[in-house]
Amino acid sequence: MKNWKTTAEAILTSGPVVPVIVVKKLEHAVPMAKALVAGGVRVLEVTLRTECARRRSARLPKKFRTRLSARARLPTLEQQLKAVTEAGAQFAISPGLTESLLKAATEDGTIPLIPGISTVSELMLGMQYGLKEFKFFPAEANGGVKALQAIAGPFGHIRFCPTGGISPANYRDYGAEQRTVHRRFWLVPADALEAGDYDRITTLAREAVEGAK
């Protein structure tokens, strides 16, 4: 593997909340990141669902170098790993895994990858490539906390990042599994962004961070 600047473990243990954001307008990115940091967020996932996201995600780590680690969600094609690396992300996350993706990430990639898994077999495949951090996705559709605990049981050294169906009503339940970092979608409401209500985003972030401790 590459001599990475950071590790997936370091990112996942830096804080209990990882908001997943979609940057639709360039002018929203920096003030949104400031609002999240003010609320206690230390890790930020920038999805590559929009045209401007790749350009802006490259700037976020520079502005918040000491307090914020930005990562970009990796699409299903392993060829996108290079583009994500060039965008300035510190590590990548994918919805699932394939052998070709794992090979690209561990032999050719320049940033760590956290691949998505939903079964023990997928987990063991990733472990064969030396990975120890995984995304459990889609969490609720695959049985939620009970399923995660059952999958995690035989693997005491593995950490998980559950997502999919996690909401204000159930995110505390995932705290029962100590090797997880909780991920949120609701920390950055679209209407708050459009209205420039960054105080609301800070409040939501603070509530989520405190609730996950």
Residue numbers annotated as active site: 45, 135
Question: What tokens does 62 get?
Answer: 């520079």
Q: What is the DSSP string of 152-186?
A: HTT-TT-EEEE-SS--TTTGGGGGGSTTB-EEEST
- Closest of 38, 42, 52 to residue 19, by C-alpha: 42
Three-class SS state of 114: strand
Question: Which DSSP letter does residue 7 get?
Answer: -
Give dist(CA 161, CA 155) in Å, integer: 15
Give dist(CA 57, CA 79) in Å, integer: 18
Environment class of 112 (CB within 10 Å of its CB; exposed 0-12, middle 13-18, buried 19+): buried
- Segments of the chain assigned E as strands: 17-21, 43-46, 69-73, 92-93, 113-114, 116-117, 133-136, 159-162, 182-184
Question: What tokens does 110 get?
Answer: 């320049």
Residues shown for the chain: 213
